[in-house]
Structures are given as C-alpha cells and as structure tokens.
Amino acid sequence: MNNETNTYVVDHRSGAEMQRLIDQDHLMNQTMGNLFPGDTDPSSLHSVLDVACGPASWILQVAFKYPHIHAVGVDISKQMIDYGRAFARVRKLHNAELRVMDVLQPWNFEDITFDFVNARLLEWFLKEQLWPPLLQEMLNITTPGGTIRSTEIITNETNSPAFNQILALIWEGWKRDGRAPQTAPNAYVGAGTKMGALFAQAGIPVSGEQEYHLDWSWGAPAHQQIMRDIVVLYTLMQPYLVNTVQVVKEQEYQLLLQAMERELYAPEFKGIWHYKSVWGRKPL
C-alpha cells in the first residue's frame, strides 16, 4: 500500500480517546440493535474480523455472545489492544484474539480467512485514495460468500453555529490533507455517502444498507452522551486542526470550543447524527 502509518486525527494513545470510543460503541450498538445485519446468521459464522477495532468493544461482544466464533480485532494502538486483551482475559473470552496492526501496511493473515469483516468509522484515519486498496485487503481475507460491512458517518446536523463552524474546519482539513477531494462541496459530507460506490468499484455487490438517525437534541436520551463525545473528540482534534492541517489558530479554536459547549448545553439545542451501514458478499 504505502509507508504512511499514523494518520489518525487524534492521538490514539490517549486514555480520553479510548473512553470516548468505549462509550460511543455502546451508543452505536444500541441504535443498530444487533451485532450483525439481519440477513447474517451468526450461528453459521466461524471467523470474524474487526478492522481498526479501537478498544475492541464490538469484537469482544461478538466473542462473548457467540463462543463458537473466532473473534479477531486489529488496531494500530497498542494501548487500545492491551486494554482489549486485559478485558478479554478477565471475561475469559478464549475465542478472542487482538493484534496490534497498521492496516495501511500489507496484511498478514496467512493462517485465517474470515466469513464476516466489520469496519466502523475508518474515515478518521483514511485518506481518499486509500479506501480502494483497503477494501481490496478486506476482500482478500474474506471467504467466498462472506460478508464485508462498513459503517460510516453521513453527517451531523445541528443548530449550533460553533459546532457547525468546527465541522466546517474539519472538512477543510480533510480537503487539505487528502481525506476528501479538493473539489468537494463546502459542507461536510461523511464517508457513509460513498461506501456503496466504493463497494461496487471493489467488486463487492451491495446486499444491504441501513441508515441510522440519532437525535441528540437537548432533553433527548442521547444528548448528554453525544455532547460529551463531541466535546472530547473536538478537544483532542486541536493539534490536528491547528498544527497538522493549519485551518485555525489555537486561540480562535479555544473560543470556538467554549462557544460550542455553551450552545450544546442550551435547552434550544437541536442535533441529529446520521450514519449508515453498507454490506455486501464476496462473490462465490
């Protein structure tokens, strides 16, 4: 693939980021309802891979709920993988295997193929041109007839001017460092909008799609949790936005973060987070 290694927009060694991902996983799983899409029978699965699994929350639930499945998670972050391994040891999840792995380097799964490959929220470290080779790696290690599923954000609509301004800065950063095309429109368009086309390009016929719309307006059950997620994420993204892509000055960003926190906490705050899963089967 190429020699790039750490392109994640947040320091993946951060404890705050790990906790954010654990909380976010609970919320996303609740909204998605099941660990697998409705047309997948978990009793027929042998090996499942979660690509860039973070602290391994999703894959360890698979290991817990389905002891017959060999559940494998890989991530570049040693801290997150160590946490996942410790959790698996305590829960005696002997069918779980977690590996530190940079998925932007050539993959080495000579010993296993997978009948379900899961990948969620990869946009945050994946540049535009790296989606096709990554999907190709996923296809290579999937058994014929096996499923590949991607879950990515469509957008996050809010009436908070400061939140919207930060999202626009992130988008500007995406364009500057090649996560989004230079010619893309001005408003953020998440990778969830292009996964169907990318699957088709990679030769993975799409067999299902599902959109999720999570209300996090003031007073909604998810308000506090998503607000905390956003405040932590956007705070941890400061070095990326200020130093790496240089779309904002530190002081201006600090003021935006403060304004955003006030606006997200106001009773008139409205927000809906849209994300989407797309899945398809490797041809026989």
Ligand X SMILES: C[S@@+](CC[C@H](N)C(=O)[O-])C[C@H]1O[C@@H](n2cnc3c(N)ncnc32)[C@H](O)[C@@H]1O
Residue 143 to residue 160: CA distance in whole angstroms: 45
One residue of 14, 19, 66, 102 binding ligand X per CB under 6 A: 102
Cα distances from 16 to residues 59, 135, 219, 228, 229, in angstroms, run: 20, 29, 25, 11, 10
For the chain, what is the largest distance between any 2 Cα atoms, rounded to a whole number of angstroms? 56
104 is a contact residue toward ligand X (CB under 6 A): yes
172 is a contact residue toward ligand X (CB under 6 A): no
Pairing relationship of beta strands 47-51 and 142-158 according to DSSP bridges: unpaired
**128 to 147: interface string for ligand X, x by CB under 6 A:** --------------------
Nearer to ligand X by Cβ, of 127 and 270: the residue is 127
Window of 75-83, 179-187, 193-201, 203-211 that interacts with ligand X by CB under 6 A? 75-83
Nearer to ligand X by Cβ, of 21 and 148: the residue is 21
Interacting residues with ligand X between 36 and 65 (CB under 6 A)? 52-54
80 is a contact residue toward ligand X (CB under 6 A): yes
| Phi, psi for residue 161 in degrees, rounded to 5 | -60, -40
One residue of 63, 71, 76, 169 binding ligand X per CB under 6 A: 76
DSSP type of residue 44: G
Q: And the tokens for 283? A: 């041809």
157 is a contact residue toward ligand X (CB under 6 A): no
> Can you give the length of the chain in residues?
284
23 is a contact residue toward ligand X (CB under 6 A): no
Three-class secondary structure of residue 72 per DSSP: strand
Q: What DSSP string describes 198-216?
A: HHHHHT--EEEEEEEEEE-
**Residue 15 Cβ, how far from ligand X at the closest point, in Å?**
13
Please work out the total of residues on this chain that contact ligand X, with binding judged by CB under 6 A: 18
Residue 5 to residue 101: CA distance in whole angstroms: 10
One residue of 36, 83, 107, 124 binding ligand X per CB under 6 A: 124
Window of 60-68, 96-104, 162-170, 202-210 that interacts with ligand X by CB under 6 A? 96-104
Residue 250 to residue 255: CA distance in whole angstroms: 9
**Residue 118 Cβ, how far from ligand X at the closest point, in Å?**
8
Query: What is the contact surface with ligand X in residues (CB under 6 A)?
Result: 8, 12, 21, 25, 52-54, 75-77, 80, 102-104, 120-121, 124-125
